[in-house]
Structure 1
C-alpha cells in the first residue's frame, strides 16, 4: 500500500509539474499504476502463504517443546526419588543402580528430542535451498516450494508450463523443467508424483470432457517431458489429476483461480531416506 501511495504521489507531482499531459502519457502512467497494484497483490498473497507455513512450523516446534518439558518433569521426579532412596537406603529395597540407569536414559532421550527439533528445522531449510538454488528470480515468481513433514511440494503455475488453454508444454517451460529434473535426478531413490490441478471453470475443448481430463493430461505431459527430454527414470514417476477438487484459494476471484491452476511435483522420500536426510542436515552453526 505504501508503494501504491508513493506512486500516486509521484504521478500527481508529475501532473502538477507539467500542467497537463497527453492522453498517451496518461495511459502509460495508468498502466504503470495497475502494474504496481498487481505487484502489491502478489506480494500480499505470498506474505499470507509464508504466514501459514510459519504457523505450521511453529505448531511442530511447540509439540517438540511440550515433549521436552514432559521428559524434564519425569527426570526431576526420578532425581527426587533417587535422593529419597539415598537418604533412607535402609528403609527399602529400591534398586539404586536401576534408578540411575533410568535417569541416564531419560537424559539421553531429552537430548534426542532437542536434536531432532533442531535437525527438523534445518532439514526443511536444506531441502528448500537445494530446490531453489538454480531458479532465477523470474522463475521463482511462478514456482512455489514447500517442505511439509519431509515431503517436498514444488508448485508450478499453468502460465509457466502450458500453452494457453492446452495441456501441451510451452517453450518457456523448458529451462525451469530442466532444473526441476536435475533435482529429481539428484534424489534418485525418491518417488515423484506429478499432480495436475485446475480452477472450477468448465473446459470446452475437443477430446477433453472436463477438468478431470485436463488436469490428468497436463500431469501426463510433464511426466513425459521429464522422461523423454530430461531422462528421468519413468519407474519413479506417477501422473495424476485432481481436477478442480483440491483448491488452495477461492475460485470466486480471478487471483484465486490463477493459484488453483497449477501442477504440483511432489517428491516423497521413504522413511529410511527421510531419517538419512535428517542426519545430513546442518547443525546450529550451519555445518553438516
Structure 2
C-alpha cells in the first residue's frame, strides 16, 4: 500500500514538474517578445525625440526668419516711402529747373526781339547807313561803331556838328528803350598823344572823347543813368596800325546798347514768382 502511494506521489510530482517547465518556457518566450517590443519602442521614441528637437530648432529658425522678414518689410516700406518722396522731390526739382529754363529762354527771346528792333530802328534812320557807321549784333548786344572822322577833328575831343546829327538818331533809339544801358567806348590808334597838360596820353583822349559824346547824348534827353563812359586807348585795334588808313580805322567810338543785367534777371525772377503763385 505504501509503495503504491509512493509511486503515485512520484508520478504527480513528475507531471507537475513538467507542467511548470513548459509554463516557464512560455513566459520566457513572452517576456522576450515584450522586451523586443520595448526595445523597438525605445528606439522609435528616441528617434521621435531627436526629430522633435530638430523640428523645434527649425521652428525657432522659422520664427526668427519670419520676424526678420517682417522687420525688413517694415524697413523696405520705410525706404520705399522715402524713395518715393525723394523721387517726387527730384521730379519737382527737374520740373522747376525746366520751368526756369523755359522762362529764361522766353526772356532771352524777348531780349533778342528787342535787340532786333533796335538794329532795325538804327538802320532805318537817316544817315545811319553811312559806310563809316557799322551796326553789329554780337551775343545779343548791339554795337554801333562810328569812325572818328565823323565825330572829332584829329587829336580833338570836341564833337562835330555832323556827329550831333548822327548821335540824335542814336539818342532817339536809346530813349525808346529805358531798360537798356548805353556804354560809349573811345578807341585811338597807337600814335602817342602829345600831352598838353590836360590830356596826358591815349587813355585820357579815349575817355575824354567818350565823355564828350555822353554829354551830347545827355543834351538830347538821354537819361544819364543809362549812360556809361569807357576808354580803351589803342589796346583793342580792329586792324594792325601799319598804315594811315588802318590807323584811321582803329580811331573810332563804339556805342554799346545792352540790357541792364540786374533788371534783366529781376524780370526773370518776377516772372518765376508769378508763375509759382499760379500753381
Shift of 1:98: 4.0
Q: Taking structure 1 as reference, are residues 252 and 271 closer, same or farther at Cα in structure 2, changes over 3 Å only?
A: same
CA distance in 1, matches of 2:107, 2:235: 35
Aligned to 2:128: 139
CA distance in 1, matches of 2:267, 2:162: 33
Instruction: Determine which of 133, 137, 146 is the counterpart of 1:156.
Output: 146
Matches within 5 A, 1:1-288: 92-95=79-82, 96-117=84-105, 119-121=107-109, 123-136=111-124, 139-140=128-129, 141=131, 142-148=133-139, 152-188=142-178, 190-204=180-194, 208-228=199-219, 230-252=220-242, 256-275=246-265
| TM score, norm. by length of structure 2 | 0.54
Q: Which moved more, 1:122-131 or 1:89-98?
A: 89-98
* SS of corresponding position for 1:124: helix
CA distance in 2, matches of 1:124, 1:170: 33
Q: Taking structure 1 as reference, are residues 240 and 91 closer, same or farther at Cα in structure 2, changes over 3 Å only?
A: closer
Shift of 1:197: 0.9
CA distance in 2, matches of 1:271, 1:263: 23
Shift of 1:274: 1.4
* SS of corresponding position for 2:123: coil
Shift of 1:213: 2.9
Q: Taking structure 1 as reference, are residues 179 and 169 closer, same or farther at Cα in structure 2, changes over 3 Å only?
A: same
CA distance in 2, matches of 1:248, 1:269: 25
Residues 153-184 of structure 1: CA deviation (Å, up to 9, x unaligned): 43322132223443222222223211211233
Shift of 1:225: 1.1
Q: Taking structure 1 as reference, are residues 234 and 275 closer, same or farther at Cα in structure 2, changes over 3 Å only?
A: closer
* SS of corresponding position for 2:80: coil
Retained in 2: the 8 A contact 1:194–1:265?
yes
What's the RMSD between the two structures over aligned residues?
3.6
CA distance in 1, matches of 2:268, 2:118: 14
| TM score, norm. by length of structure 1 | 0.53
CA distance in 2, matches of 1:129, 1:93: 54
Larger Rg: 2
Retained in 1: the 8 A contact 2:188–2:252?
yes
CA distance in 2, matches of 1:91, 1:227: 68
5+ long unaligned stretches in structure 2? 1-75, 270-279
Retained in 1: the 8 A contact 2:119–2:142?
no
